[in-house]
Structure 1
Amino acid sequence: MFGSKRIAELENENQCLKQELQTARQEVETYRLAQHDLQTTSLNESADTSKEELLSILLGSYEDGMNFLQNTVEESLTMLGEINTLNDASMLGGQNVEKQTQEILTSMEKIQLLTQNFTRDVENLSSSVSAISDIINLIKDISDQTNLLALNAAIEAARAGEHGRGFAVVADEVRKLAERTQKATLEVESNISILKQNTNSMADTSETFQTESRASMAILDKFSVEIQTVLSNSTRITNKCDNVTNEISVSNGKIDHILLKLRGYNAALKRQNTDIMGHTSCRFGKWFTSVQKLLNTNIVHEVSDHHTRVHDGLKKAVEIFATTNNATEGIEAFKAVEKSSKIGFEKLIEAFKAIRKS
């Protein structure tokens, strides 16, 4: 999931490093056997003695290089294990996030439905209130007409002796108004009942809405925690991948220089010259130039100085064995190369360990 491709690339790089390490072991084993043959057959000859000393330096260099690489490879494997653990946790967190996202969507759908129901209840409530308002207006109208009829009745009463029929007309009108009032009253009661139902429905919807909202907030809280965990793990994976990349690159540089020195030793043993590339042309030199901004300036200068000494010193040692008989000077040159190689890489790996990201 998060960084899986990069983790796979780092594991592949680590495997390649192991293969290069095995190649170096095989070459050095050849020189070990050659040293053994020299010790058992020609120890008293000066030329063979210088070869034996040269092979001894080579084998010491190999042992130092193997110890260095074994430690860095083991630490890289440990960090890769930590990266895989974080990646597994991120994958699980991602699954939880996916599940919680679905729960949130479901909850949002419920809330949307509740909102629709709530809107419907509000509309119904508004309709009921409007109906009651209309009925109240009707009752007011009936009341006004009743007052008018009462006035008419008073007038007719004053003329009762002469126009008795007017009372009957007024009484009939009052009866009709009474019926209308009764009907309006029933409609008011009916609408009030509907109003109560709508109010209860709104209360239920509101309570359910609050329950769903609380549930959604709880899910969102979990979602937020999971997202933060995933983001944190993702950052840690990126940081640890950077750590492994840098330290594997140092290990690759160490192997490159073991192979470069083996080439130099092979040429010296055969007393042949060979082309030794400059310190800015080798793979390690190009990589180191690209990462110098990550390191302390003093460390950069110190490692660069030792790296230059390795290449220049190796070239000098090979030339001495190829063009002169001064084996002692050549051996001292090789010793200086080994010293700079050891110090330079040890300081570099410690510098990268000091700036490891957590």
Structure 2
Amino acid sequence: MGYKEHLTENLTDEEILRAFSIVLPYLNDLSRDDTAFGLTDTEKYIEYEDPKGFQLQLRAGSEPLDVIKDSLRSGRLEKGDTNVSGKEIKVISIPIRNSKGKIIGTISDGIDLDDTTRLVNSVSEISESLDQVSTSVSELANSASNFALTGQKTLKQAQDVMETSKKTSDAIEIIKSIADQTNLLGLNAAIESARAGEHGKGFNVVSTEIRKLASQSKESTRTINDIVINMNQSINTIIGAVNESASESEEQAAAIEEISATIESINANLKRLNEFIERFA
């Protein structure tokens, strides 16, 4: 026979309830929450301890709450929400048995549902807010990723333009070479015109026009070359800016993804906390 069985076998029903009555005033100090504790026989409260934070207007002789009556009837732990003196509380009641297994009373506790409800609501509101923030962060991450992608496309286009510009420079060199050759041809025509004297006047007209064309070609190539050089400088500036912007966008996207993951983790913990509160409230 264990100590518990030996103890209850040697105590009367009144002595068992008296023992609970002696312990009852100490339970509130042991409880983490502000809790009401009650002791009943099979008909009425025989002891009641009010919590520090609220009053339920229960006392010795008061009729047991419905949850306690259910526990007396079922012979097992019962819990439920009830309204006492305008206060919503959650009550847990367990039956007390004598050595023969007969139910002789109950011991119960009650906690204020207002605090629990406020906590659950606060957790839910925080969770909803985090959901909204997470959605906004995801949209921002997508925007940053799209911006980075656009920057990469712009960079590719700028590089393509640079390649085209290089080909233009090559073409200018060819035109310049042709102009030099044309100018040389004009000089040769002028020399031949001088040698031919009166008969070489036609050569002289041709050589003048050829050299004029060569001069104009050179001037045009210089102008085009200046434009190409300026364009190359502008393109290099654009490429540098796009590279820097793309790098920053990629870093921002990575940072946003990390923030989003942290928010999801916090949200998951809040949901677990909410489930825990609802389970034990």
* TM-score, with structure 2 as normaliser: 0.50
Q: Which residue of 2 aligns with 1:187?
A: 224
1:224 is displaced (CA, Å) by 1.7
Q: Which residue of 1 aligns with 2:207?
A: 170
The answer to whether structure 1 residue 132 and structure 2 residue 169 are counterparts is yes
Compared CA separation, residues 113 and 22, structure 1 to 2 (3 A) = farther
CA distance in 2, matches of 1:131, 1:176: 21
Q: Which residue of 2 aligns with 1:222?
A: 259
| Larger fraction in strand | 2
CA distance in 1, matches of 2:73, 2:194: 140
- Alpha-carbon contact 2:185-2:207 (below 8 Å) kept: no
1:135 is displaced (CA, Å) by 1.9
CA distance in 2, matches of 1:21, 1:122: 82
CA distance in 2, matches of 1:145, 1:134: 16
C-alpha distance after superposition, 1:103-147 (max 9, x if no partner): 223333433444454344334334333332322221122234445
Among candidates 55, 58, 61, match of residue 102 of structure 2:
58
1:192 is displaced (CA, Å) by 1.7
Calculate percent identity across the aligned residue pairs.
Answer: 10
Letter in 1 for 2:137: Q
Tell me which of the two structures has the higher relative contact order, counting C-alpha pairs closer than 8 angstroms and 6 or more residues apart: 1
| Structural RMSD (CA) | 4.5
What are the within-5 Å matches in structure 2 for residues 102-181 of structure 1? 102-149=139-186, 156=192, 159=195, 164-165=200-201, 166=203, 169-181=206-218
1:183 is displaced (CA, Å) by 1.0
Compared CA separation, residues 140 and 105, structure 1 to 2 (3 A) = same
What are the within-5 Å matches in structure 2 for residues 37-76 of structure 1? 58-60=102-104, 62-63=105-106, 66=107, 70=109
Compared CA separation, residues 193 and 27, structure 1 to 2 (3 A) = closer
CA distance in 1, matches of 2:155, 2:229: 19
1:189 is displaced (CA, Å) by 1.0
Compared CA separation, residues 194 and 57, structure 1 to 2 (3 A) = closer
Among candidates 125, 129, 133, match of residue 96 of structure 1:
133
Number of aligned pairs?
193
The answer to whether structure 1 residue 24 and structure 2 residue 71 are counterparts is yes
CA distance in 1, matches of 2:236, 2:99: 99
CA distance in 2, matches of 1:96, 1:137: 61
| Larger fraction in helix | 1
CA distance in 2, matches of 1:169, 1:57: 134
Unaligned 5+ residue runs, structure 2? 1-64, 76-97
* TM-score, with structure 1 as normaliser: 0.41
